[in-house]
Structure 1
């Protein structure tokens, strides 16, 4: 049933990995909030009857999201669904772009066939966020180009973060630079609200953030600290086959009211 307060969406389901789960944005109860929760709150103000499910699990690659989250999402019969997937594929040494695109295309096709509005996203250049991984920048740009094409082909709504300078601002990223900070999660939530024209939303998420001025010495020192504290431990976990998602399940597997 369509809302009488300006939003046509009553059943919102989010699919994805750690970004959609909300890692980097702690709540007050030992868990994680994240952009999807924040957006659900904004949408819920426009439609107090909104119900929301979040199936995302950290560490998941696109094939795992397709295998584990797609069918449960379809079964929930959403009228709005988001798919944020692919970054965990890109950062793996054994990256198969054809497999990634096939999984994304399959998810877009099945979800749009239900009649739901499907929203997906391009990614900021992670080589700008973390210069030591700049070799991965071509993968990100290639994926973004394919995401634009896939979204157009399947009638999905695309939020194009790549050209938005604010998305690579240091304050938008958590200390590990793999996950968004609370400010970054807020930016994505406002981008969703602005794109879907949620009542009261605007386009300020596109506005540039104040520049951070650092000397070359400070930049090098920061990069070395990040490499030691975050990149090397991450690489070691990958080599040992240790997954961040071990024992983790979806935090909100069922459609529940946003406000009770």
Structure 2
């Protein structure tokens, strides 16, 4: 009996030691996470001070009619989103994505294109609600291109808060008969002024958001183009040429030209004027199997996106 009791005490002692070790390890991990979060937040505040106040240096998006000399049926093109949709940072106003895409449609369809750009510098995804009202005030465009998400990452918005406006905007436009192409959040991990830890977090969170955007866009009946997959490697290889010298945060004219080039095939297909090479353009331009763990988080967030925008609003 004494021997059994001694063995029992020894077993309990060993178990307590294991639990104590686990507790110490968990405490260390928690402390590391808190430290990591504190350092990342501090780096974010420092980075924010490096960039100019974009609302004070706001740029107005360009709208207008292109291809006046063409005789085909006009295409109404709408553009919504943030500073990327405006073309902030481009050296030449004609080098902005909206204009480049409109001119590409003119050549592909041999017809005039009426461009209405309602994007705003500094806009978050929630701004899409007001932009939608503005865009559809007179009539619903044939094709709408949306570039949004970077400011949601920069300001650490919750995934659900960033996804529901996009989801309902896509659904509303599709109900009204418009084709929709969403260029998902770019990889902010390519921004060189960010310090390494912040750059890693920006890369991770922008990829989660981009995946969620692709999911809600496809569910709503739109097409999605992954800027992170198509442009991320190019911006990493040539940050000097791809980023604007104004703030090293927004693309340069060359960067916007690359962006328009990867978005345009999906827009041509959506507008019904595809080139021969666009015949097999998928609805989702996103590398299959990339960043699988991120898709789980994005899928969970997209499941929680409720319908908050009605046709009346």
TM range (shorter): 0.5 to 0.7
Query: How far apart are residue 201 of structure 1 and its match?
Result: 8.4
Matched, 1:24 2:89: yes
Matched, 1:128 2:190: yes
Query: How far apart are residue 74 of structure 1 and its match?
Result: 2.4
Change (3 A) 1:9 1:112: farther
Query: How far apart are residue 178 of structure 1 and its match?
Result: 2.2
Matched, 1:183 2:254: yes
Q: Which has the larger radius of gyration?
A: 2
Change (3 A) 1:8 1:186: farther
- What is the TM-score when the length of structure 1 is the normalising length? 0.67
Deviates more, 1:109-118 or 1:71-80: 71-80
1:219-258 equivalences in 2 (<5 Å): none
3-state DSSP class of the match of 1:194? helix
Distance 1:139 1:161 in 2: 14
1:56 is matched with 119
Distance 2:204 2:87 in 1: 26
Structure 1: which 5+ runs fail to align? 207-260
3-state DSSP class of the match of 2:140? coil
2:179 alignment partner, one of 105, 112, 117: 117
Distance 1:173 1:202 in 2: 29
Query: How far apart are residue 161 of structure 1 and its match?
Result: 2.0
Distance 1:155 1:167 in 2: 30
Which structure carries more relative contact order (alpha carbon 8 Å, separation 6+)? 1
1:158 alignment partner, one of 224, 240, 250: 224
3-state DSSP class of the match of 2:90? coil
Q: Runs of at least 4 residues of structure 1 off by over 3 A?
A: 197-203
Distance 1:177 1:50 in 2: 32
Change (3 A) 1:200 1:149: closer
Aligned length: 195
2:210 alignment partner, one of 123, 144, 147: 144
